[in-house]
Structure 1
Amino acid sequence: MKNIDYLNTLLRNGASQSEAFTFYDQLDIVEPEEMMGMWKGEEIVTGHPLEGLLSASGWYGKEFIDEENVHPLIFEKSDGILYAVRPNLLPVNLLMQNLHNIPKQLLSTSMSLLRPIIKTNKSAARLRKVDYRGTVTSAMVYDNKGIIDVFRKIDENTLLGIMDIKEQVPDKVFFFCLTKA
């Protein structure tokens, strides 16, 4: 099965963390210069507590301007307008602990109400190469959060990413894919 076909199966059916890591580990590295531009994101269900939070709150994806300037969280308004947010103002750990008790519509409404406070034009991450699981590949390092997103290449227009959150159990990561917009 081709990598893109397997990704589509993961997106449709989900997978265990182990299955997702097996797929991730066999993919090619991605160089920073291959990541420039706007990317649309999609969550992969593997049992991580963050699943559903980004989609319900209007997450669009990520924007890589250059290695020093990255917008790690791009959201989309109901009218299709995209905007970057300041990740340090989002209470990710608190939301993850209570995500299953929060109605999805409330998350969307909250993002609309908070938009004037959390919206930014300033970069909130950098792009670096890191050694993760024995392979050196591109990673996005958040400026003010203990989070690193590490990427592998499915093809020139599709990446598989993991969100490694410092405060989380290290054997459980959030999986997502990015498609060149």
Structure 2
Amino acid sequence: MPTFSEALALGKITTTEALNIFDSLDTVDISAMIGAWKGAGFPTDHPLDGALEAYHWHGKRFETPEHVHPLVFNTVDGNTASINPLWMLPVVGWLDRMPIPKSEAVGMLFQIGLFLFSTDRSGARLRLTTYRGKKTATMIYDSLPINDIFRKVDNQTLLGLMDLKGMKNPFFFVLRRE
């Protein structure tokens, strides 16, 4: 089994290998989540691999356990904007059935129209849940059947796993504290 660092260097691993890495990591307390985090993919040949980057995903912002911005994107002018996760509902419905467009042109169009989807309102909350036998910080979306479960790589880095109801395999991502 590769380590977290080895997996990053490889550029892509299997879902089984990613789950083994995830299971080997320490849990995360909710208090350790508070703050802004920069996101990146952790490729496992999942349909979402590369999509967040194509759409200029920046990361997540945890203001309090009750006020979380799960989808923060880079704007054209170099700032960031949070979007309402409810806008992702059409994508969630066909995630396993159709490929997600990941072209530079589609990503740029999304970025230009980002103001249409932006919000200052929270779109999720944090709770401790037990997942794969360990109690750890979990981000629960307010309007989607999605939980993001976190494990600690180090004090500045988390490995996240998106658990979507009905999705065959989880989607993995990395968060680094800003």
TM > 0.5 between the two?
yes
Structure 2 Cα separation of the partners of residues 109 and 167 of structure 1: 30
Structure 1 Cα separation of the partners of residues 112 and 15 of structure 2: 34
Q: How does 1:20-31 map to 2 (within 5 A)?
A: 20-31=18-29
Query: Quick check: 2:75–2:112 contact (8 Å CA) kept in 1?
Result: no
Task: Evaluate the alpha carbon distance shift between residue 71 and residue 42 of structure 1 in structure 2; reply closer, same or farther with a 3 A threshold.
Answer: same
Query: Quick check: 1:53–1:99 contact (8 Å CA) kept in 2?
Result: no
Query: Quick check: 1:11–1:43 contact (8 Å CA) kept in 2?
Result: no
- Secondary structure of the equivalent of 1:119? coil
Task: Evaluate the alpha carbon distance shift between residue 56 and residue 130 of structure 1 in structure 2; reply closer, same or farther with a 3 A threshold.
Answer: same
CA shift, 1:10, in A, is 1.9
- Secondary structure of the equivalent of 1:63? strand
| Same amino acid, percent of matched pairs | 37
Query: Quick check: 1:146–1:167 contact (8 Å CA) kept in 2?
Result: no
Structure 1 Cα separation of the partners of residues 78 and 39 of structure 2: 15
Q: How does 1:90-169 map to 2 (within 5 A)?
A: 90=88, 91-93=90-92, 96=95, 97-99=97-99, 102-169=101-168
- Secondary structure of the equivalent of 2:99? helix
Gaps of 5+ in 2: none
Match for residue 174 of structure 1?
A: 171
What's the CA shift string for 1:61-111, capped at 9, x where partnerless? 0000000000000000233201100111123235634336x3512331331
Moved over 3 A (4+): 94-98
Gaps of 5+ in 1: none
- Secondary structure of the equivalent of 2:53? helix
- Code of the residue aligned with 1:107 in structure 2: it is V
- Code of the residue aligned with 1:137 in structure 2: it is T
Structure 2 Cα separation of the partners of residues 161 and 144 of structure 1: 19
CA RMSD after TM alignment: 1.9
What's the CA shift string for 1:2-54, capped at 9, x where partnerless? x9xx3333223211111111111011100000011000011011011111111
Structure (1 or 2) with the greater helix fraction: 1
Match for residue 84 of structure 2?
A: 86
What is the number of residues matched between the two proteins? 175
